[in-house]
Amino acid sequence: MSWQTNDSHVITKGPCTANGCRSSDAKHHYSDGHAYCFSCSTYFPAEHRRTMAPPYDVPKPKSDVYPNRLPVTQHHCGRNYTFLKQYGLTDDEIDEHYFYAPLTDRHIFSVRDPDTNEEFYEARTHSRNIVPKSLQYGTKPIAFMGDCQSSVLVIVEDAVSAIKVGRQATTMPLFGSFLSPIAMAKIGRLERINQCVIWLDCDKYDKGMEYAKALGMFRPCVAIQTLADPKDLDDSTITVALEAALDALEAV
């Protein structure tokens, strides 16, 4: 079993090749053996680590199943619950998409890739004594969420945004900001999808425009930008933003 300690420090920085990431310097290598890419949000576990005294975090191999799963509630994990509630998620949405892992003090989002049947985990902690704050296990899936009867596909960065925008459209979270050519080709083969919207966080508009141009080879596609990230907006603002995006597509 690998151990993630809380006293590691960066020893080198370099290029990342995970999931097609093209960053030249965003992959940080840490003294305890693990690495993390701040461009595509990929976590690289270490094969060998030295065991440290608590507090520590215990990453799970991607083939492992979290043995102790609790609901994400105020009672079980107040800080984790408050983090999700601040974005306006309902208790039912939290219960459907998240669970709490007491061993690592993280709330976990999991989704299964329909093609490979592999489960992907994204874990986040709010403890000051555990690093890094966010971890990912498994290969990032090409998975669709939300109103899957909708003919509009909205591509967002993170799970919370996918849940909120998914109240009104089909969504696809990237779990980062990289949209691979493989994912674009799969979207292009979806017969029920007529229009695509790229809605990345507010600081990624240029990248969204790049993806919209590439994805436009398969489907009518537009990139939009709002002053706040999708997860920070209420339902009515999300509705207005999506309607404006679809109006723009109709005008083309």
Q: Are residues 120 and 168 in the same domain?
A: no
- Model confidence over 133-189: pLDDT tens digits? 888 888 888 989 998 888 999 999 999 999 999 999 999 999 999 999 999 999 989
Pick from 140, 168, 186: which residue ends a domain? 140
Enclosing domain of residue 21: 1-52
pTM: predicted TM-score of the whole model, two decimal places: 0.74
Q: Are residues 189 and 246 in the same domain?
A: yes
Q: What is the CATH number of the domain that holds 170?
A: 3.40.1360.10
Closest-CA residue to 101 (of 77, 79, 126, 81): 77
How many domains would you assign to the chain? 3
Give the burial class of 236: count Cβ atoms within 10 A of its Cβ; 0-12 exposed, 13-18 middle, 19 or more buried. Answer: exposed
Q: How confident is the model at residue 222 (pLDDT cuts 50, 70, 90)?
A: very high
- Model confidence over 117-143: pLDDT tens digits? 888 889 998 877 777 788 888 888 898
Phi, psi of 16 (to 5 degrees): -120, 135
Q: Which residue matches tokens 């493989």?
A: 182
Q: What is the CATH number of the domain that holds 34?
A: 2.20.25
- Model confidence over 43-62: pLDDT tens digits? 776 643 444 444 444 444 44
Q: How confident is the model at residue 8 (pLDDT cuts 50, 70, 90)?
A: low
Q: Are residues 32 and 64 in the same domain?
A: no
Q: Are residues 149 and 245 in the same domain?
A: yes
Give the burial class of 71: count Cβ atoms within 10 A of its Cβ; 0-12 exposed, 13-18 middle, 19 or more buried. Answer: middle
Q: Are residues 136 and 149 in the same domain?
A: no
Q: Are residues 244 and 158 in the same domain?
A: yes
